[in-house]
Amino acid sequence: MKVGISSACLYPMETAKALQDLLECGFRHFEIFFNTYREIQPEYLCKLQALLYQYGATVQSVHPFTSGLEGMLLFSNYPSRTLDGLAFYEQYFAAAKRLGAQYVILHGQRLPIDGRTIGLSGYLEGFCRLSERAATYGVTVCQENVNGFASQDLQFILGMRQALGETAAFALDVKQAVRAGADPFSMAAAMGSCVRHVHCNDHSPGKDCLVPFQGHMDYGRFFRQLIGQGFCGDIILEVYRSNFTHPDELWNAKLKTEALLQQIHTEPLP
């Protein structure tokens, strides 16, 4: 179980520069958050690959810059646009494959859901279609729980898992659960054994996104619950640039997370 970081932590720093700065801080495992179309083109991906190779680093996941448009691009009742959306997202799948990433993170359908949207059954069909296309590139689409999207709701997540079984794949984001008024532990339980990827951050009253170990999150309980549910993926630190003063805070959070995970893994079985 590796502990990595999202390039989004240094946004709006340009992605390749953010990657280089984080590499120089000591990080070696990443989520790459693409911020514009040119960043998923071969020339730019070569630049990212060169940096990763230079430092012996790896990429676990990529995040589309079109997340806010996915309801329109992938989950509307306009079939020809959906076909174009699928074709566009193949570029993310190809980029993920090129960088060696395992996951592509999905936000999905925005709220409110109204008569122009396709409902849960249609959403599941669209998710499966997208997942099948991703599989041809050797990558997996992970549905993230996101505030302001259908996926903020525990029942929506639970419905996906029950309908799709073990083919469901989720990215669990602590701050997004908090923003939606959902308990992160309950969201983890709703995702069950289908949690594949975790965005790690902290919170306290009045502050919904903090560097890990700077808030009130009970990470011991959280990680033990995930491991008990069968989670064996990686932990990606994801906060925003306004949430810390110096990147050293991120590095210290990584070390504390690794130490806690090591402690948990060496505990005797109950």
pLDDT one-digit tens code per residue, 95-130: 999 999 999 999 999 887 655 557 788 899 999 999
Mean pLDDT, residues 127-135: 97
Stretch among 64-78, 115-129, 212-226, 243-257 having the lowest mean pLDDT? 115-129
Residue 57 to residue 65: CA distance in whole angstroms: 22
In this model, does residue 61 exceed pLDDT 70?
A: yes
Percent of the chain with pLDDT over 90: 91
Confidence at residue 268, expressed as pLDDT on a 0 to 100 scale: 81
Mean pLDDT, residues 10-34: 98
* 203 neighbors 216 (Cβ within 8 angstroms): yes
Q: Could you give the 3-state DSSP secondary structure of residue 112?
A: coil
Residue with tokens 């120089």: 24
Mean pLDDT, residues 69-90: 94
Query: What sign has the CA pseudo-torsion 22, 47, 102, 74?
Result: positive
The residues with which 172 forms a beta bridge, in sequence order, are 198
pLDDT one-digit tens code per residue, 236-251: 999 999 999 999 999 9
Confidence at residue 248, expressed as pLDDT on a 0 to 100 scale: 94
Burial of 27 (0-12, 13-18, 19+ CB in 10 A): buried
In this model, does residue 166 exceed pLDDT 90?
A: no
Confidence at residue 81, expressed as pLDDT on a 0 to 100 scale: 94
Percent of the chain with pLDDT over 70: 97
Averaged pLDDT of the chain: 95
Confidence at residue 113, expressed as pLDDT on a 0 to 100 scale: 63
Ordered domains of the chain (ranges, CATH): 3-264 (3.20.20.150)
pLDDT one-digit tens code per residue, 181-197: 999 999 999 999 999 99
Stretch among 2-6, 45-49, 115-119 having the lowest mean pLDDT? 115-119
